Amino acid sequence: MHAHHRSRDSLADRMTPIDTPSAQGAGSTDLEPAPRHRLPAIVRALRPKQWVKNVLVFSAPLAAGQLLHGGVLRSTLGALVAFALVSSAVYLQNDARDVEEDRQHPRKRFRPIAAGELSIPAALVMCGVVFVAGAALGFWINPALAAVLVVYAVMQVGYTAALKHQPVLDLAIVALGFLLRAIAGGVASGIPLSQWFLLVASFGSLFMVAGKRYSEIVQLGAEAGTRPSLASYTPGYLRFVWTAAAVLVIAFYSLWAFDQRHLGVWGVPWTWVSIAPFTLAILSYARQIDAGEAGEPESAIHDPVLLVLGALWLVTTGIAVFGKALAS
């Protein structure tokens, strides 16, 4: 059976022009068909689907119970937009640099730059424009927010240039990108970040990143060796990392929850109650990772079970942190 596949691939290689983007990604006989798009290439290159990651900027104001205080909501929404712009600039430079690698990937070959829909020079011009816009907005909200955005951008450029080829460090850099989103929400409004918040956000980020890498290996199978970021890992190692991170994030969240006795409302310790939906959400997402379905973390919003668990966690935690206002 394997010999038959190799023979068929060789025949396809001889019949397909090797200088086209589609041919560059023809390393597998199970490639997905080209998707139809409603948005123009210039918009898709910004990866609007991945902006959902930036909702992490709400986590610090929510955890502190200050989201609705004064100008906190306005600053947080501004931080959301600023991070969306800066992260899109990072995606553009990343796709411009990795265009040849992306053409070997069964799904990434359809990205506008890899597919030849958007030229590299145009992408780099867009990169500069959206970065300046995002950084300027961050500075207008709070200079400290602009500093976080610049650190994120510099770190991601370094990741694309070299660090993505360094085992373990690449996991840490990508996880730090998630963590900086969470930090940005607090920085935008000057909200102090507790050690519990930083621990939960840190290991939660590592859980998602290691799970993403594990899912990529499962999805690509034998083709995983074509991706430099995966070449240094085995499924067993990545399983160890995301399992350990899941255990730690649940443990640290539970310790925070049990430490919040003063947040009880109507005689109910709501932070204690919130441990249940939080843990079940982690376990539900871990099932997606184990099945190789978490290659794109933002796709989790399409899982109805995760959405319900997330809503239950938000309700129970919301009652706890906004409890005084609700009880009065």
pLDDT tens-digit readout, 222-270: 565 556 667 788 889 999 999 999 999 999 999 988 887 666 667 778 8
* pLDDT at residue 228, rounded to an integer: 66
Separation CA 47–CA 222 (nearest Å): 27
* pLDDT at residue 106, rounded to an integer: 67
Closest CA to 204 of 172, 238, 248, 239: 248
Range with the poorest average pLDDT among 79-83, 183-187, 299-303, 309-313: 299-303
Q: Is 218 left (phi over 0), alpha (psi -120 to 50) or beta?
A: alpha
**pLDDT confidence band for 21 (50 / 70 / 90):** very low
pLDDT tens-digit readout, 141-194: 999 999 999 999 999 888 877 787 788 888 999 899 889 999 999 999 888 888
Handedness of CA 285, 286, 289, 290 (dihedral sign): negative
Reduced to 3 states (helix: H, G, I; strand: E, B; else coil), residue 174 is helix
Separation CA 87–CA 82 (nearest Å): 8
The rounded percent of the chain whose pLDDT value lies above 90 is 34
List, in sequence order, every residue forming a beta bridge with 265; answer none if it has no partner: 268
* pLDDT at residue 309, rounded to an integer: 93
Choose between 260 and 31: higher pLDDT.
260
Give the tokens for residue 185.
């929400």
* pLDDT at residue 265, rounded to an integer: 64
pLDDT at 16 over 50: no
Question: Which amino acid belongs to residue 83?
Answer: F
Separation CA 268–CA 22 (nearest Å): 58
Mean pLDDT of 183-211: 91
* pLDDT at residue 224, rounded to an integer: 58
* pLDDT at residue 102, rounded to an integer: 67
* pLDDT at residue 32, rounded to an integer: 57
The CB density around residue 312, as the number of other CB atoms within 10 Å, is: 17
pLDDT at 90 over 80: yes
Tokens 């640099």 sit on residue: 97
Global pTM reads 0.74
Residue 298 near residue 285, CB atoms below 8 Å: no
**Strands of the chain, DSSP E:** none
